[in-house]
């Protein structure tokens, strides 16, 4: 059975801090790892990673994948209150298996 584990489950930081979210996986069919941000409603797409060691960046967010050690990290620098959300990691090949998510709370 596919397994996607995210850590920590939740964290609280202050504006301006940097956060690092972890995602480890064990799946039978791997093709890509995706990160999503979920606020009140459905998840919004952040990154898709398919190759090891290549960092993807979008503004203050960045992510990297290690296919040998089977994990990925998502970094958010200079956090803002608008970054408060649940961050979901999903892994798969055609169908996605989701982790439980990390709840990030950024306090002003």
Footprint on this chain of other proteins (rule: CB under 8 A)? 31-32, 34, 36, 41-45, 48, 88, 90, 92-101
Assess contact for 69 and 60: CB atoms under 8 A. no
Q: How many residues does the chain have?
A: 108
Choose between 41 and 68: whose C-beta lies nearer to other proteins. 41
Cβ closest to other proteins, residue 83 vs residue 101? 101
Closest approach, Cβ 38 to other proteins, in A, equals: 9
C-alpha distance from residue 9 to each of 6, 32, 63, 71 (Å): 7, 22, 18, 16
Cβ 47 to other proteins shortest distance, Å: 10
Q: From the CB of 100, what's the least distance to other proteins, in Å? A: 5
Q: Measured from the CB atom, is 87 or 106 closer to other proteins?
A: 87
Closer residue to other proteins, CB minimum distance, 11 or 77: 11
Q: Give whole-number Cα distances, 77 to 1, 54, 58, in Å.
A: 34, 18, 11
CA atoms within 13 A on the CB side of 4: 22
The residue to which tokens 């996607």 are assigned: 4
CB of 28 to other proteins, least distance (A): 14
């Amino acid at each position: 059975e596919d397994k996607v584990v995210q850590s920590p489950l939740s964290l609280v930081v202050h504006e301006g801090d940097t956060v690092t979210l972890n995602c480890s996986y064990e799946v039978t069919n791997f093709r890509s790892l995706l990160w999503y941000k979920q606020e009140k409603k459905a998840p919004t797409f952040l990154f898709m990673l398919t190759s090891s060691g290549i960092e993807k960046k979008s503004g203050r967010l960045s992510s990297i994948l290690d296919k040998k050690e089977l994990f990925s990290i998502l970094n958010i620098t200079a956090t803002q209150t608008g970054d408060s959300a649940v961050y979901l990691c999903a892994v798969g090949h055609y169908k996605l298996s989701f982790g439980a998510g990390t709840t990030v709370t950024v306090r002003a």
